[in-house]
């Protein structure tokens, strides 16, 4: 694409959309996403939703230039790595769920980070075998896994992209060279993380001024190092990331940090994206499909919905503590299984089919038939399809921090992208190389490797991919996509996606209202309620039912697209800076 062409497209993208009433139930806004931070949009041909307006506009530019959903996704991701650097980027990993309209097939791509060859199960333990304090593990090279995002972008673009490989680089390159305005969210997050961002000289120089003050909102920020990285990738492909000067810089940063890690040039050179079959769960006549292990996303979401299937949530409604009792305890049961069984299937057997088997879920669902909160929740005994006795498994412990980003795109051929992308915690390991941050994804492994001699499935092992909660999802009806969504938020991601689906499918809310509805979820013991929302009124009722209730901020970032007979409806979470743009 000629230089500057995407800016032209951007102006076109600002053309007001004609507001129309869709079966989704509300009139989408009609205005420029850049000007207004547009949260909903209608489209007949295509839809792009992303966590930042500049990133969404980059995707739009690709579609207007004749590209498809994959071209758009690559452009969106490259811009997100610049304007939302705390959440995802070249130094991280991602899962892509992809509907190929021409083939009529759904597939998934695993671009998850891998543990270096040098990693051992005691990576996050002290000399006494006790888990390290979490942030002690996060900051520095120890937590850095081999990034997967560059390889994922190249792999899927080679296979599906319609524009040349150079086209999706144009928006990010222009913004990196000429600068972009630091968004309110980025400025706020930098200000709240000054101490850790100051530890690495390159990170400090980028996010703080020479006196150590955080970048202010609206500051015009250029990133020449990122521009150089983009040019190298554009000219030489992802190989420019995994070998040569950039790879050497990454290894030097990881090994030379005050909390060094073991990443090597061999680890980078050998990184491979894995295509895996989607994992689907049934719900209300639909197939809810997503990323299987090493993500727990689709399995745990599928279990929550499968456990709720026998219960009439529609009749109960969203204001009923009884509805939330069912959702909370279904989630606790699913999380108990997740903690016990789900890990990278290339390293440990996982009863993937057994966890979603209707007879297993039906039996577990009967546990919800009482009136009160379950006093105790433990993992079940799913069927194993492996030719072996069920292995002994101990529960793991991997506290995930709420960062990450979601990209959801539908193009005019009907291809659908649902991709969740991350560097794990906000600002990842806080190490910066080549204008991007390196992940701390290895802290998604269990810090405990064993309990009483029994191994934890999600323990660290060389070459293994840490278990994720990312839940990029595509919902199928009669074998065709009708909805695509996902969210950031660490292990709360699964609850955010479940709530959105239940609010939309059971309670008939529009996509916008389903996303905006207060977040209420459970993972382990407590029910978590989003502070400052009407859901706080549920707290006394849920306490009476026997739950421990916690209230706090729950900053989901759901980006979703509904594919309806009348057209496309896009919606972005009002809690963040994301937008939906459609035509």
Catalytic positions: 404
Partner residues linked to 109 by β-bridges: 96, 275
The distance of closest approach from Cβ of residue 94 to ligand GLY in the complex, given in angstroms and rounded to an integer, is: 9
The DSSP element (H or E) to which 98 belongs, if any, is strand 93-100
Question: How many residues can be counted in the chain?
Answer: 583
| Least distance to ligand GLY, CB of residue 490, Å | 6
Query: Of the two residues 444 and 513, which places its CB atom closer to ligand GLY in the complex?
Result: 444
d(CA 59, CA 168): 8
Which is closer to ligand GLY, CB of 114 or CB of 404?
404
- The single residue listed with the structure tokens 């269990």 is 446
Q: Which is nearer to ligand GLY, 350 or 410 (CB)?
A: 350
Half-sphere exposure of 294 (CA within 13 A, CB side): 29
Between 422 and 458, CB nearer to ligand GLY: 422
Helix extents (H) in 264-368: 265-269, 297-308, 313-316, 321-341, 352-356, 358-365
What is the total count of residues that contact ligand GLY (CB under 6 A)? 9
Q: Is the dihedral of CA 54, 58, 60, 61 positive or negative?
A: positive
CB 435 within 8 A of CB 228: yes
E strand or H helix that includes residue 75: helix 69-83
Strands 480-486 and 220-221: unpaired
DSSP string across 407-455: EEEE-TT--EEEEEEE-SSTTTTS-EETTEEPP-GGGGSBS--EETTEE
Provide, rounded to whole angstroms, the least separation between the CB of residue 401 and ligand GLY.
7
- The contact mask relative to ligand GLY for 447-486 (x = CB under 6 A, - = no) is ---------------------xxx----------------
Q: Which helix (H) or strand (E) holds 93?
A: strand 93-100
Taking the complex as a whole, the smallest distance from the CB of residue 291 to ligand GLY amounts, in Å, to 10
Q: Which of residues 110, 174, 339, 444 is near ligand GLY by CB under 6 A?
A: 444
Q: Which is nearer to ligand GLY, 149 or 422 (CB)?
A: 422
Query: Can you tell me the distance from the alpha carbon of 486 to that of 294, in angstroms, rounded to the nearest whole number?
Result: 17
CB of 259 or CB of 492, closer to ligand GLY = 492
| Residue 294 C-beta: closest distance to ligand GLY, Å | 9
Closest to ligand GLY by CB, 361 or 470: 470
Residues facing residue 286 across a β-bridge: 283
Smallest distance, ligand GLY to C-beta of residue 303, A: 16
Name the residue nearer to ligand GLY (CB basis): 110 or 424: 424
Min dist CB 51 to ligand GLY, Å, is 14
Considering only residues 343 to 402 of the shown chain, the ones binding ligand GLY according to CB under 6 A are 400
Instruction: Please state, as a whole number, how many other Cβ atoms lie within 10 Å of the Cβ of residue 317.
Output: 12
Query: SS3 for 541?
Result: helix
| Contact flag: residue 404 with ligand GLY (CB under 6 A) | yes
Write b or e for each residue in 83-117: b if 16 or more Cβ atoms lie within 10 A of its Cβ, otherwise e: bbbbbbbbbbbbbbbbbbbeeeebbbbbbbbbbbe
CB of 374 to ligand GLY, least distance (A): 25
Quote the CA–CA distance of 290 and 379 in Å, as a whole number.
22
166-205 positions binding ligand GLY, by CB under 6 A: none
Distance CA 162, CA 73 (A): 12
Cβ burial, residue 249 (10 Å; 0-12/13-18/19+): middle
Least distance (Å) from ligand GLY to the CB of residue 115?
Answer: 14
Residue with the closest Cβ to ligand GLY? Answer: 468
Cβ proximity to ligand GLY: between 40 and 404 the closer is 404
Structure tokens at 283: 């719900």
Contacting positions for ligand GLY (CB under 6 A): 400, 404, 422, 424, 444, 468-470, 490
């Amino acid at each position: 694409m000629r230089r500057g062409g995407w800016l032209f497209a951007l102006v076109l993208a600002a053309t007001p959309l004609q507001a129309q009433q869709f079966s989704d139930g509300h009139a989408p806004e009609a205005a420029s996403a850049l000007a207004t931070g547009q949260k909903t949009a209608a489209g007949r041909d295509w839809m792009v939703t992303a966590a930042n307006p500049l990133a969404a506009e980059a995707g739009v530019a690709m579609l207007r230039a004749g590209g498809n959903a994959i071209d758009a996704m690559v452009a969106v991701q490259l811009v997100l790595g610049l304007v939302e650097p705390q959440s995802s980027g070249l130094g991280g990993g991602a899962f892509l769920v992809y509907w190929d309209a021409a083939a009529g097939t759904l597939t998934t791509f695993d671009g998850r980070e891998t543990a270096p060859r040098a990693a051992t199960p005691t990576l996050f333990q002290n000399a006494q075998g006790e888990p390290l304090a979490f942030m002690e593990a996060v900051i520095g090279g120890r937590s850095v896994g081999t990034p997967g995002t560059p390889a994922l972008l190249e792999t899927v673009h080679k296979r599906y992209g319609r524009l040349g490989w150079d086209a999706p680089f144009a928006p990010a390159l222009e913004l990196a060279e000429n600068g972009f305005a630091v968004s309110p969210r980025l400025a706020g997050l930098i200000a709240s993380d000054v101490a850790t961002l100051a530890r690495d000289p390159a990170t400090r120089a980028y996010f703080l001024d020479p006196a150590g003050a955080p970048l202010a909102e609206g500051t015009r920020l250029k990133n020449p190092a990122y521009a150089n990285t983009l040019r190298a990738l554009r000219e030489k492909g992802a190989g420019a990331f995994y070998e040569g000067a950039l790879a050497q810089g990454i290894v030097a940063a990881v090994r030379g940090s005050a909390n060094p890690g073991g990443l090597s040039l061999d680890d980078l050179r050998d990184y491979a994206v894995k295509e895996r079959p989607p994992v689907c769960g049934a719900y209300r006549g639909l197939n809810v499909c997503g990323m299987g292990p090493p993500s727990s996303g689709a399995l745990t979401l599928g279990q929550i919905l499968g456990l709720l299937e026998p219960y009439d949530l529609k009749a109960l409604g969203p204001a009923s503590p009884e509805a939330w009792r069912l959702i909370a305890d279904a989630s606790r049961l699913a999380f108990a299984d997740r903690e016990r069984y789900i890990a990278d299937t290339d390293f440990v057997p996982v009863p993937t089919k057994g966890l979603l088997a209707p007879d297993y879920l039906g039996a577990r669902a009967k546990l919800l038939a009482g009136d009160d909160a379950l006093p105790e929740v433990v993992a079940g005994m799913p069927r194993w399809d492996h030719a072996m006795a069920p292995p002994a498994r101990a529960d793991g412990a991997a506290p995930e921090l709420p960062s990450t980003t979601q990209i959801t795109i539908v193009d005019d051929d009907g291809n659908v992208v649902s991709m969740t992308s991350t560097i794990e915690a906000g600002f990842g390991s806080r190490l910066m190389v080549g204008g991007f941050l390196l992940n701390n994804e290895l802290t998604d492994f269990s810090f405990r490797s064993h309990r009483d001699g029994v191994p934890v499935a999600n323990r660290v092992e060389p070459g293994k991919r840490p278990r994720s909660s990312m839940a990029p999802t595509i919902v199928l009806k009669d074998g065709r996509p009708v909805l695509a969504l996902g969210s950031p938020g660490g292990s709360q991601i699964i609850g955010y996606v479940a709530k959105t689906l239940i609010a939309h499918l059971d309670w008939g809310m529009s996509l916008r209202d389903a996303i905006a509805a207060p977040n209420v979820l459970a993972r382990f013991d407590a029910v978590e309620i989003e502070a400052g929302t009407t859901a706080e009124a549920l707290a006394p009722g849920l306490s009476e039912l026997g739950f421990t209730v916690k209230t706090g901020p729950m900053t989901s970032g759901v980006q979703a697209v509904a594919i309806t007979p009348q057209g496309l409806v896009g919606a972005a979470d009002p809690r963040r800076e994301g937008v939906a743009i459609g035509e």
